[in-house]
Amino acid sequence: MSTSADTPAAAVAPKRDRTHYLYLAVIVAVVAGIAVGLLAPKAAVELKPLGTGFVNLIKMMIGPVIFCTIVLGVGSVRRAAQVGRIGGLALGYFLVMSTVALAIGLVVGNLLHPGAGLHLTAATKAAGAKAAAGGSGGTVDFLLGVIPTTLLSALTSGAVLQTLLVALLVGFALLALGRSGEPILRGVEHLQRLVFRVLAMIMWLAPIGAFGAIAAVVGGSGWKALTALLQIMFGFYLTCVIFVVLILGVLLRVIARTNLFALLRYLAREFLLILSTSSSESALPRLIAKMEHLGVSRTVVGITVPTGYSFNLDGTAIYLTMASLFVADAVGRPMSISQQISLLVFMVIASKGAAGVTGAGLATLAGGLQAHRPDLVDGVGLIVGIDRFMSEARALTNFAGNAVATVIVGSWTGEFDRERSLAVLGGALPFDEATMLDAEEPASVPEPVPVPSQLSAVDG
């Protein structure tokens, strides 16, 4: 009897251990991709569809994940005022952090003058014009774009903000239904489990996607393109590190009494995934699951994380600041302080619908310059060659900012279980890598209770 009882436990352990081999394979794939890109650049460029296909598979899951998470988060709360309070605190925090990120980028950019001494060629002008063609539209177009064509089209169009709107409407509708809407909530929760299971299957293709993406960009750009613009890259990476460690780290310690490096270590696999794809979107579902496992309530996670992916773009704000100064110096038309502030405020507004997508920062930069300072658009061509590498730091900073924001908002609203977070970060409550769900929790939607620790222990 004891043998048969021990067999299932023994069978479960290898399933969790296999995920370690998966992420080791991702590291090996990245190294191999760099080697192929340097040794056989022409062949490496042809591998780009491997990376593109993997990212597309991840993006395929974003809509269902966001919809399920927000509907469960909003629909399981009895007081609509609580949702409004959480959303208001999150948006206020996002606005302050974006301003701080812009200010740090301005200071570093004005100290380094990264574009001084560079000269444009006909090729870079053409590249700049091509990038500008993909720039974002005006404010009116952005606001109208939030409204989907139909209720269901938001889940299939890939527009994050449209999915947010529909999920909030459905969540509040279930909130108004009261107990009669609980069967629907349970159905959405089962759907969420299915979505995470499919995503766990897709993640086994991560080594292939990482290999193709890295090989293509190294083969296409080469080291010569990187050395020519080393100063702007170094300045941008340095600014991101300063922002994450000195700003986010201090806020996290003071407000939530949580160690930044422990949180980053807990999210190490997600950072590795972002590093290989240069897209923070690829790690969004895992961030949602891990934040709930950490001890932040479903309501806070369901509102803060998806909203932060559109409104809390710390890395993108720094990128837009330094890239604008770089382009202005490169074309010999440096901006005054007042011009810098007005241009960057415009770009922050324009960037709100382009979160987490590889290359979105470049398109936003070009579109913003074209609308506000068209005389600088030609200089965007200087950024094209290294944007892929800068997008890695941009995505990593955006991701770190949203993770910290979730914990801070949870602390402000009293829906962050710090004792559970200490156990999770200390390794006593490991995250279930096999299903991205806390297997020990029940499958039903619990009744809302005033105890934050109970709210944070929901499956997700």
Number of domains in the chain: 1
Q: Is the pLDDT of residue 267 over 90?
A: yes
How confident is the model at residue 257, as a pLDDT?
A: 93
In the chain, % helix, strand, coil (3-state, to 5) comes to 80, 0, 20
Mean pLDDT of 3-14: 42
Q: Is the pLDDT of residue 440 over 70?
A: no
Give the burial string for 400-422 (b: 16+ CB within 10 Å, else e): bbbbbbbbbbbbbbebbbbebbb
- The amino acid that residue 276 corresponds to is S
CA angle (293 as vertex; 289, 295 as ends), nearest 5: 125
Tell which wins on pLDDT, 405 or 214. 405
54, 213 contact by CB (below 8 A): yes
- The amino acid that residue 335 corresponds to is M
How confident is the model at residue 387, as a pLDDT?
A: 67
Distance of CA 44 to the CA centre of its chain: 27
* pLDDT single digits (tens) 50-106: 877 877 777 777 778 778 877 876 765 554 455 678 888 888 898 889 888 888 888
Task: Confirm whether 74 is domain-assigned.
Answer: no
Lowest mean per-residue pLDDT among 12-26, 132-146, 331-345, 396-410: 12-26
Q: Is the pLDDT of residue 235 over 60?
A: yes
The single residue listed with the structure tokens 């023994």 is 10
**Which CATH number do you get for residue 354?**
1.10.3860.10
* pLDDT single digits (tens) 329-383: 777 777 777 777 777 776 666 555 444 444 456 666 766 676 667 777 766 766 7
Task: Confirm whether 258 is domain-assigned.
Answer: yes
How confident is the model at residue 445, as a pLDDT?
A: 37
What is residue 428's three-state secondary structure? coil
Task: Confirm whether 309 is domain-assigned.
Answer: yes
Task: Confirm whether 373 is domain-assigned.
Answer: yes
Q: Is the pLDDT of residue 399 over 50?
A: yes
Does the global pTM surpass 0.85?
A: no
* pLDDT single digits (tens) 161-204: 787 788 888 888 887 887 788 888 888 888 888 887 887 788 78
Task: Confirm whether 30 is domain-assigned.
Answer: no
Task: Confirm whether 174 is domain-assigned.
Answer: no
Domain that residue 337 falls in: 81-159+222-455
Mean pLDDT of 247-274: 93
Q: What percent of the chain has pLDDT over 90?
A: 14
Task: Confirm whether 307 is domain-assigned.
Answer: yes
Task: Confirm whether 215 is domain-assigned.
Answer: no
Confidence band (pLDDT; 50, 70, 90) for 422? very high
Tell me the DSSP string of 98-156.
HHHHHHHHHHHHHHH-TTTT----HHHHHHHHHHHTT----HHHHHHHTS-SSTTTHHH
